[in-house]
Amino acid sequence: MNQHFVREKRVDITTLSNGLMVATERMPEIATATLGVWVGTGSRHERPHEHGLSHLIEHMAFKGTARRSARQIAEDIENVGGDINAATSVEYTSYTARVLGADVDVALDVLGDILINSAFDPGELAREKGVILQEYAAVEDTPDDLIYDAFMETAFSGQAVGRPILGTPDTIKSFDEATIRAFLAREYTPGKMVLAAAGDVDHAQIVDMAERLFGGMPAVAPQQPESGRYTGGERRISRKLEQANLVLGLPGLSFKDPGYYAVHLFAHMLGGGLTSRLWHEVRETRGLAYSIDSFHWPFSDCGLFGIGAGTAGSDVRELMDVTLACMAQATQDISEIELVRAKAQMKVALLTALETPGGRIERVARQLLSWGRVVASEEIVRKVDALEVEHVREAGRRLLQSAPTLAAIGPIKGLPSLDSIASGLQG
């Protein structure tokens, strides 16, 4: 094994009595500190009437607390040269800050304040709902964003895991302080939270502050979301646009599934780079699309494989035919050189993500929430290196045996039927 994959820094981990985990990674060459709180809750943990609530809560975290106004939150971080941010995904919500190592206490105090003491002022809440409604409208006006929301909703029909993170205008308008606080009490529990920090940090200092800020949170048994069930199907949105945007998908695998890495490599070889089969055939040889890519989105209990592209309305049928042929062919003759190249690219991506304190704490937090431990890079690399050509071909063949999902928007009259596409997948 290449020695570069075993130069792991030490991660110190302490679990508070209420279940909140604290993980730090000291990086002596770094003068700044990046720290954040990850909550193992995202859009899939919302009940139907809460659709979009995780995203709203993330926004409201910066709109004032019992001790600070929205302006003071920003000033306290920026007065020490720092920055603060947050993000919501299907399964996680994160709140992060970056400051000089000497100002870790300031950043942690602000993070603790916004997570524990947010005020949810009615005026601020009304304004932020307006902001999110504008965000929703922007997606509706952006076909290459909207199509991926439609794709997820179709692949996991009627389920929280498939719902768009932003919510709908009706649910967004309905949220009030009581709804927010009930969700926080149920989902923002210490057993589903990790405080991670990297850079110029001291583990004992971080643990002491974590105990002071979060130690009083009551331990609550985490609730598990409904398991994701791939349904497949189609959604076609005819619009007068210059270009048709298409996404074709199949059920993927959870990141906990032993076959995950084989599917990931299959997706990369099919459409993950300038040497991939779809890029070469669709973009370079036929000029059917400016770009085309394939992807594999893994979640904790399910996954989704897909191929996305944009093309002229007159080319949608040829694009689909070529894509189906490339997929079927790849399951038969993926080569050793393709596999070696995909493995190398996967390793570079892995290491690149570890080159910044932000990348390191995100990896640590997600792994602790998912596995209860930090997974060493060399363990991942061993699993990738153990894969052979036939493993990846077989992963592709299993994919193509499933019912497809199709989402399309724009001038799509020439697009084949879903039954025709399903037949094409079978060769």
Q: Give me the residue label for tokens 């974590």.
A: 210
What is the third-level CATH fold of 233-425? Cytochrome Bc1 Complex; Chain A, domain 1 (3.30.830)
Q: What residues contact 142, with CB distance under 8 A and at least 6 apart?
A: none
User: Cα dist. 384→74, 269, 272, 339 in Å?
Assistant: 43, 14, 16, 10
Beta strands in 113-220 (DSSP E): 193-199
d(CA 128, CA 144): 25
Same fold, 6-214 and 233-425: yes
Residue 370: which of 267, 298, 282 has the closest Cα? 298
pLDDT in tens, 290-328: 999 999 999 999 999 999 999 999 999 999 999 999 999
pLDDT for residue 6: 44
Break the chain into its structural domains and give their ranges: 6-214, 233-425
Q: Which residues pair with 113 in a beta bridge?
A: none
**Max Cα–Cα distance, the chain, nearest Å:** 64
- Residue 409 parent element (H or E): strand 405-410
How far is Cα 176 from Cα 133, in angstroms, rounded to an integer? Answer: 15
- At 334-392, the pLDDT tens digits run 999 999 999 999 999 988 988 899 999 999 999 999 999 999 999 999 999 999 999 99
pLDDT value of residue 387: 97
pLDDT recorded at residue 221: 87
Phi/psi-derived region of residue 21, left when phi > 0, alpha when psi is between -120 and 50, beta in every other case: beta
Q: What is the DSSP code (8-state) at residue 49?
A: G
DSSP state for residue 34 in the 8-state scheme = E
The pLDDT tens digits of the residues spanning 234-281 come to: 999 999 999 999 999 999 999 999 999 999 999 999 999 899 999 999
What three-state secondary structure class fits 42?
coil
The mean pLDDT of the chain is 95
What digits encode the pLDDT tens for the residues 208-223?
999 999 999 999 988 8
User: What pLDDT is recorded for position 224?
Assistant: 85
The pLDDT of residue 8: 61
What residues are labeled active site?
58
CATH of domain 6-214: 3.30.830.10
Helical axes 357-371 vs 336-353, angle rounded to 10°: 100
- Residue of 249, 299, 275, 63 whose CA lies nearest to 147: 249
Q: What's the Cα-to-Cα distance from 297 to each of 180, 257, 358, rounded to whole Å?
A: 28, 13, 21
Specify the pairing of strand 292-298 against strand 405-410: unpaired
Say if CB 211 and CB 16 are below 8 A apart.
yes
| Distance set, CA 54 to CA 42, 44, 94, 362 (Å) | 6, 9, 11, 19
Partnered with residue 12 across adjacent β-strands are: 24
d(CA 423, CA 416): 11
Interatomic CA distance for residues 266 and 155, integer angstroms? 20
DSSP-assigned letter for residue 12: E
Give the pair of three-digit tokens for residue 3: 């020695």
